[in-house]
Amino acid sequence: MNNQKNKHTDDLIDHYWGTISYLTSLIKASELKAGLILSFYGILLNFIYQGTSNFLDKLSNDTLLFILIGSWAICTVASIFFCVRCFIPKIEGKFSKNMFFFKDIISKFGDIKEFSKTFLTLSKDEDSLFEQLGEQIFIISKISDWKFRNVKRAISFLAIGLVILFITGLYHVIFLLT
């Protein structure tokens, strides 16, 4: 019977740590997506910069063209803002101290010896251990959600900006032909 309890505890530990690992990988994925969006902007802005000499020669006082360019610039800046925001470290410090949170480890558990003793004691107490792990899962989930909301906003502004850029290019071509 005791062997069965140990097996269940081992499964729970694997489940909790697997969940933490999964959530951590989601955070990395959100940052990777934000990085890819920024890389795309680097390429796009380079092409636009190289093509502006032809574009500026034919630029007139066309209000609609300036509105389109301004709208695209606003969408681009907003998208880049949300990408950069995704890279900002998000620390949730409004919760009770947790032995799995790096900042709490060095600031709320005393010196190295005190932390080591507390860590061992809490690790032996299954209820306390799983409570600490569960709290950490909740906090990491909040961070992951925040980062993915920023990526989603960045992608939305990217899409809107690309549509505006396409309309601007189409309008410019039609304007050149008339």
Dihedral sign of CA atoms 36, 41, 42, 46 in order: positive
Say which amino acid occupies 53. S
List of the chain residues with pLDDT < 70: 1-8, 53-60, 93, 176-178
Quick one: pLDDT at residue 57?
60
Contact status, residue 101 vs residue 136, Cβ threshold 8 Å: yes
pLDDT of residue 58: 60
The pLDDT assigned to 52 comes to 74
